[in-house]
Amino acid sequence: MKHTAKTSRLIACVCLMIAGVAAAASAQKSVTVTGIPGNFRGKIAMLALAPPANPGDYAAYSLVTISGESTQFPLSDWKTDRPWNGAGNFLLTLRLYDNAQAAGKDQFIYSGLTGAPVNVRQAATAVQWGAFAAAAAAETAQKSITITGIPGSQRGRIAMLGLSPPNSDEYTAYSLVAINGAQVKFPLMDFTTDKPWGGSGDFSFDLLIYDNAQAAQNSQYRLHARISALTTVNDPDTTVQWSRFVAVTAQTAPRPQGGAQAAASGTPAAAASSGAATILITAGSDPNVRLEMTGGTVRNTSGAAAGNAIRNNSKGTMSITGGTVSAPGGNAINNAGGSALATAGARIDGKVVP
């Protein structure tokens, strides 16, 4: 879809729909899409017909609100906006939008194309939702997570949401947004490429809350909370309650961008529970520096043999040239990833493993 002409067309269509203008002609043909998933009810939908040789050159279209599992799309001429009564074999494009404003900007939450041409000759043609599935995967829209029930005390802060697959601390997707209310949408980006993410699967969620953008850049977060139980991400938008997140630690975590460094400051970190890490560097193959520490104190106060002040699961380098790393009875540094480690000039109180 060309942004200029066709996006303008969408805007015009939305205006007509809002105004309640409907084309009245007995000869107007229509397409009925059946089997629409219930989570799309109330969304705005645009259906467009195009010849197989040029799927982007629309001949007819319809813009309606999804009313149920079966929704009718009365067709209008793409160029004239008059009722359309054509016939032939067409590829059908279906796009869904959260609301009329999103439709006007062509910010879709789902986009699908029929895998084979559809014969549109009768006054009403029925098409199954499943007919769009083959092409939907090739044009997957960006998915999002919506967190509801956020306390008012968090408003105005910056939040980073990270999704990790089962048995891994490595983020697959993330989102960094400002908290502007009790309900906030997190559009997901691929953690490695920073491109819109449209994957699916079961994930655990990490939520980091920062006072402001500068604190986020410096990895100085106010709250680190997690949903350890796997949550299925499949729909265009997945809703989770704030109450499902459980606080993890209180001071240091990886920065919100992929591949960035985590830096320790002069403020002592909070105690970590048995077997946990006060600073945890998640798995990754990048050999660059993941942690630089030039002063201050990082301490694990659990007293457990499995406690770690710093645990590095990545292949990234750690440079600890000042300050104190302490884990009485446990591991001051657990370099599980086997990366390069420099500790000259620092005080290490506890074991260094392996």
Q: Between these two residues, 305 and 127, which has the higher pLDDT value?
A: 127
* Least confident window among 60-64, 259-263, 305-309, 341-345: 259-263
> b/e string for 165-177 if b means 16 or more Cβ within 10 A?
beeebbbbbbbbe
For position 159, what pLDDT does the model report? 93
* Least confident window among 71-85, 229-243, 287-301, 307-321: 287-301
Q: Between these two residues, 336 and 2, which has the higher pLDDT value?
A: 336
For position 17, what pLDDT does the model report? 52
pLDDT of residue 36 exceeding 50: yes
For position 29, what pLDDT does the model report? 95
For position 2, what pLDDT does the model report? 38
Separation CA 103–CA 223 (nearest Å): 36
Radius of gyration of the chain from its Cα atoms, rounded to whole angstroms: 26
**pLDDT category of residue 3 using cuts at 50, 70 and 90:** very low
Q: What is the mean pLDDT of residues 177-192?
A: 91
pLDDT of residue 137 exceeding 70: no
In whole numbers, what is the pLDDT of the chain averaged over residues? 79
**pLDDT category of residue 111 using cuts at 50, 70 and 90:** confident
Q: What is the mean pLDDT of residues 172-191?
A: 92
Q: What is the mean pLDDT of residues 160-183?
A: 90
For position 274, what pLDDT does the model report? 34
pLDDT of residue 132 exceeding 90: no
Q: Which residue has the tokens 């009403």?
A: 124
Contacts (Cβ under 8 Å, ≥6 apart) of 96: 40, 43, 44, 45, 46, 66, 108, 109, 110, 111, 236
For position 47, what pLDDT does the model report? 94
For position 134, what pLDDT does the model report? 44
For position 258, what pLDDT does the model report? 35
**pLDDT category of residue 279 using cuts at 50, 70 and 90:** confident
Separation CA 42–CA 101 (nearest Å): 14
pTM over 0.85: no
Q: Between these two residues, 254 and 68, which has the higher pLDDT value?
A: 68
